[in-house]
Structure 1
Amino acid sequence: MRADAKKNYDHLLSIAQKALLEQGADVSMRDIARQADVGVGTLYRHFPTREALLDALLRSSFDDLAGKANELNGAAETDKALLVWLEEVIAFTHAHRGILEPMMSAIEDPASALHESCVRLKTAGASLLRRAQADGTARPDLDGAELFDLIAALAWLREQPAHAQRAARLFNVVAGAVLKAP
């Protein structure tokens, strides 16, 4: 990539990251281009779709969350490791308002630019779940896809003003359903 193109790319990502955190995942691509002081064509040259932009914005965070799961796979208390990771993923998705819908769509669509990153995140969580299941601390009839759905449901609750105050309690209820009682 040419130096000026790389500079535009990095600048667009910086502006888009700020817009994502402030306005949510449905922020207008035109607004991002305007805030970055580039033409909308420049934005679309770098990111042909909203999903491509979201992937560029979220990939490193998803990689970090997957890396955290890999670290936690070595923890002695597999149930606690799973809960720590679940809380981090839910907090991340809550902080990035509006990413749940694109994530849930992308996980089912291999053609999506966001698919691979979402699959990597789901696979990391499934690995923690399998380890807790093998250890006898998590219920054996749950799979990684269902765990991903539970994460989305709990994160969605946090985004709803009328339900947000119950999100912590419901996390504990769901955690109790995922984990086996000692």
Structure 2
Amino acid sequence: MPGQRADARRNYARILAVAEAEVAAHGADASLEQIARVAGVGSATVRRHFPGRRALLDAVFRERIEALCERARALADAPDARAALLAWLRALTAYSASARGMAAAMAPDGAFDEEAVHSCSAVLGEACGALLRRAADEGVVGAGVTVADLITLVTGIALATEHHPEAAAEADRLLTLAFVGVSPER
């Protein structure tokens, strides 16, 4: 955004903030026209900043995905590999449960375009990979558990709890329940 006029930067920030709220409320299919209306800009302004829905969703999720990746790096050297992996999965689950469009973007069933599945899942999978390898090396998760399994698990939980009155709490409860099956404490 360097080199943009101040009003263009403000419009971008306003559109992105409104898009985050609309995606959280209505999922990945949030109306671009509604986003423009609420942001107080025209549809052409939205499209100038975000040439398509994919670009807008990428921007909506990018900051949080980067934070989740940073969280994985911070947990990489935690003394308890099992607790570190579970802490990261909880962070991913909490965000996925609160950002309805993100679960759809991670869903491997074609519910969203393949590029979106690849970009979200690949970045998150890379972040989780080191935590999972360490947990597997220490024997605290099953040898056959993959990053794709964990991303699918979190995606399924987020989609299953999306309309629950307390989605985040229910998603955390289900993750804990599933994780005991994936990695029972010794």
How does the TM-score come out when normalised to structure 2?
0.84
**Aligned ranges for residues 20-99 of structure 1 at < 5 Å?**
20-99=23-102
Stretches of structure 2 that go unaligned for 5 or more consecutive residues are none
* CA distance in structure 1 between the aligned counterparts of 2:46 and 2:171, rounded to whole angstroms: 36
Count of matched residue pairs: 180
Structure 1 unmatched ranges of 5 or more: none
Mapped to 2, the partners of 1:22 and 1:169 lie a distance apart of 22
- 1:96 is displaced (CA, Å) by 0.8
- Please report how far the alpha carbon of residue 15 of structure 1 lies from its aligned counterpart in structure 2 after TM superposition: 1.8
CA–CA distance in 2 between the matches of 1:96 and 1:168? 14
Listed one character per residue, the Cα deviations across residues 125-148 of structure 1 (whole Å, up to 9, x for unaligned) are 122111100111111101111111
Output the aligned Cα RMSD: 2.5
Partner SS for 1:136: coil
**Paired residue for 1:2?**
4
SS at match of 1:98: helix
Query: For the residues of structure 2 that align with 1:27 and 1:168, how far apart are their CA atoms?
Result: 25
The TM-score, its normalising length taken from structure 1, stands at 0.86
Please say if 1:109 is aligned against 2:111.
Answer: no
More displaced 10-residue stretch of structure 1: 120-129 or 170-179: 170-179
Measure the CA separation in 1 of the matches of 2:92 and 2:66. 12
Query: Which of residues 133, 137, 140 in structure 1 aligns to 2:136?
Result: 133
Would the alpha carbon gap of residues 63 and 167 (structure 1) be closer, same or farther in structure 2, given more than 3 Å must change?
Answer: closer
Q: Using the alignment, how far apart are the partners of 2:92 and 2:57 within structure 1?
A: 16
Matched residue SS, 2:63: helix
Partner SS, residue 76 of structure 1: coil
In structure 2, the CA distance between the partners of 1:145 and 1:38, relative to structure 1 (3 Å rule), is same
CA contact (8 A) 2:106 2:120 kept: no
- Give the secondary structure class of the aligned counterpart of 2:141: coil
| Contact 2:15-2:36 at 8 Å conserved across structures | yes
SS in 2 for 1:157: helix
Deviations 1:44-73 (A, max 9, x none): 121122121111111111010011011111
